[in-house]
Structure 1
Amino acid sequence: MTRKFDGTRILIATHNAGKLEEMQQLFAPYGVDVVGAAEMGLAEPEETETTFIGNARIKARAAVAATGLPALADDSGIEVEALNDAPGVYTADWAEIPNGRDFIMAMTKTHTKLEEINAPHPRRARFRATLVLAWPDGHDEVFDGRVNGTLVWPMRGKTGHGYDPMFQPDGHDITFAEMDPEQKNRISHRADAFQKLIAGCFG
């Protein structure tokens, strides 16, 4: 039996402004006050696990310990079939530069690797997102979401973040970065996980 959320405030354990904005939009209908980790002055914990659930749990539990608020964390990434599901949990690492993250560089790196091995088309990939909702008493609930699609090149679109300009979800002829946010938020990997969270903890 999934635990129901009965609070009025939830901490989103992310320093990513794009993710926070997405979560605020997703939570808007449920009357829950959403606050971000940066707003609370929280440090980013080191993500030492090798799975999405492991890293999401690290972030959620660190945020709960620091604030006493229920916290929701996600770990997400893109898995490219021809690269043995890389970069996966290391998606953000592939974008790391000395002063932040450069996802154009990461997408170019991914495309170059696919070209080097002459990966056949269509180049299949999936976005995955794992949400962990943690309570101050140590309980947590886990929800996994995914969306399948194809990688395109060159990159297309100006909206979204991360690998969105390179990812065309199944059933659509445009990339995530060519969609308006509302359209993407209906079908994204995070939306899939979020719908399961809502059904389990808020439904």
Structure 2
Amino acid sequence: MTSLLLPGSRLVVATHNDGKLREFRELLKPFGLDLTSAGELGLPEPDETGTTFAENARIKAEAAANASGLPALADDSGLAVLALWGAPGIFSARWAGPKKDFSGAMQRIEDELHARGAVEPPQRRAAFIAALCLARPGDECDEVEGFVLGTLVWPPRGTEGFGYDPVFLPEGHDRTFGEMSADEKHGVDWKEGHGLSHRARAFIALAGRCFAEPRL
């Protein structure tokens, strides 16, 4: 049986992405953990050689756990656009280039959709997908996935969140992730056990396996 991470336990968030780290801090707040990140520890970023989100999440989590000697939580996530046959998918961050220019990446998606004549909402369906992996040094990993469906809008709307959030309109909502606060975007209801964002949905599943009861 997996041992639970109790309040005060130290946990490495295996990311060098400040936006992603902020989201994890919000999601992990009710669990009272002592958080640090791979970036703050100066850990190297491993090569993401996996062919799926789950494989890349495991690569990052195991690398951080082995390098730090601490439990490490990693995610690999991205945007999959139906009309682009699932692209950018696991290459979502790479489409933004080394300077993390997501404005350019969003423009590239829009250009490719227009080239395919995908201008009406039903032609612009997409999903955000997140795979989470919690690795402990020398132990088994816990792995889960979550996703949220939506439609891509243009031009981008909102300055909240990060990455492709300003063009993603989640199903059943009239504001993009870029127009939502962190609380709205994740929409976590621990009592009911549901959330809105892909990362929140994956995280709720992982929390049930790996963390003590949240402090609500």
TM bucket (normalised to shorter chain) is over 0.9
- The answer to whether 1:105 aligns with 2:104 is yes
1:21 aligns to what? 22
* CA–CA separation in structure 2 for the residues paired with 1:33 and 1:14: 16
- 5 Å matches for 1:61-140? 61-97=62-98, 100-119=99-118, 121-122=120-121, 123-140=124-141
Q: 1:86-108: per-residue Cα shift (whole Å, max 9, x none)?
A: 000000111104xx210000000
Structure 1 residue 185: Cα displacement: 1.8
AA matched with 1:61: E
2:205 to 193, 196, 201: 196
Q: CA RMSD in A?
A: 1.2
Note the 1:24-35 alignment, pairs <5 A: 24-35=25-36
Q: Aligned to 1:38, what secondary structure does the other structure show?
A: helix
SS in 2 for 1:153: coil
Q: Shift of the alpha carbon at 1:81?
A: 0.3
- AA aligned to 1:109 is R
The structure carrying a bigger strand percent of its residues is 1
Query: Aligned residues: percent identity?
Result: 51
Q: Which runs of 5+ in 1 are unaligned?
A: none
2:32 paired with 1:5:
no
* Alignment partners' CA distance in 2, 1:143 and 1:6: 17
> What is the aligned residue count?
200
CA distance in 2, matches of 1:125, 1:106: 15
Q: Deviations over 1:155-175 (max 9, x none)?
A: 110111000000000010010
Partner-residue secondary structure (3-state), 2:39: coil
Q: TM-score normalized by structure 2?
A: 0.90
Give the letter aligned to residue 5 of structure 2: D
Partner of 1:154: 155
Residues 39-96 of structure 1: per-residue CA shift (max 9 Å, x gap): 1110111111110011111101110111100000000000000000100000011110
How many Å separate the matches in 2 of 1:200 and 1:119?
Answer: 41
Deviation beyond 4 Å, 4+ runs, structure 1? none
1:183 aligns with 2:184: yes
> Could you report, residue by residue, the CA deviation over 1:100-140 in whole angstroms, capped at 9, with x for unpaired residues?
21000000000000000112522100000000000112310
SS in 1 for 2:93: helix
Please state how far the C-alpha of 1:5 moved relative to its aligned partner.
2.2
Q: Distance in 1 between matches of 2:67 and 2:179?
A: 38
CA distance in 2, matches of 1:60, 1:73: 5
Q: Which amino acid aligns with 2:180?
A: M
Equivalent AA in structure 1 for residue 198 of structure 2: H
